[in-house]
Structure 1
Amino acid sequence: MSNLGRGWTVLSLALLAAMFIARDNLEVTSAADSEALTWGAIDPTWSPNGERLGFSLFGSVWEVPAQGGEALQLTASAGYHAHPSWSPRGDQIVFVNGPAPRGRIPNISGELWLADIETGRERVLATPYPTAGTPAWSPDGKRIVCALQVPNAGALLYEIDAASGAAKALQARPQRTPTDRWIAAAWNGPHDEIFFAGRRSREPQVWSMPAGGAGCSSRVTTWKSPRPRTRKR
């Protein structure tokens, strides 16, 4: 990947990190189980050939031609479907299946599911803990990286086998009080590294780590939240 492409990956995750702070200033809006009140279309994901766009809408995963047109519903199982990610081979979409969101930002925690684009078949990947972040595919389409909510440890990144659901921890349990509750991840194939946005210190930052978990994480961004201004009397 070129330096420009790598820069866009970091920038995208930096914007996600900024949302950790920005959400504190948003008005609370609750989602509903009906189409009368919903978050609308969220979580867009490109097909590998760039011809179609997947997204979450009304609690299901849909796809639409990139040039515009009629949307096609891809998932129909029970639950609220969010955070879809298209596989590199274009044959599957991984998504999170959980309860409907009832917060300021629709971060859905639940089970990892796979939907077959051709047949419409949906199946669950039985991870040891609920999800706590957005999933991302490895370049070969055989593995998925996603944060899981580990008891007494917070959100930790795991590498999950797309065929069997076997999960391998990429991060060790924190020695101090856990700070991460949600981690957004992206897989940089050419450099075989994983970028993730999370709150591992006082402020949310973007970090990188070698794929497979062999090595230490390094911080990519230096984000400081603006101090609140006091009104002069």
Structure 2
Amino acid sequence: MIENIQLHHFADASEGGYGTVTYIHMSNTSGNIQVSLLLGKARVTPLKAVTIPRLELTAAVLAVRVDAMLRAELKLKRSHSVFWTDSTSVLKYINNEDKRFHTFVANRITAIRDASEPSQWRHVRTQDNPADEASRGLKVTDLLKNDRWLEGPAFLWRNEEDWPKAVLDITMDSSDEEVRREETVNAINIYDASNPTDHLIVYFSDWRRLKTAVAWFF
């Protein structure tokens, strides 16, 4: 009898493309595990140059959209979804609570956090990430004999305690180019110089000092 069903989404990006691949992970009461490929998506990068961290973030958005579609189509309301990325930048963006980002990153973080929780996101090494095939592309002959793509990474076939450990440091660095800098506003008092006598009266509270100053001006 099936005891647990999970969807595992892997996201990745490169200079040429980005993509995601999803596996369904099932285990029964006897501890047996079955992993099957569900769906893969790959897209080419925009013609306008985009940084790799931004492309990795775009791949993460694609992963949560695929998750929502699959859960609705397969009616997996009680299943748990896990998201994997080899980008520590994406993990830092998603887990950030105090920094503000530029519009491109901010919009995509909002989309990710609306559809998932930061705790659902985990780090996977590039060599264990099957979405690397989606982002870099493979010839059909190579894809058909690629075990990592067809069966998922080897660790998915083991118990959860043997899965890759979480990244220790996911603190957002203020020097990251996507962090919006706080703008300093300098306030300047501007006086109307049309009537300098009024300013003199305000400046000198003593009548004698005012007369002396005016005399010096003359």
TM-score range, shorter chain: under 0.3
TM-score (norm 1): 0.21
Bigger RCO of structures 1 and 2 (CA < 8 A, at least 6 apart): 2
TM-score (norm 2): 0.23
**Which structure: larger Rg?**
2
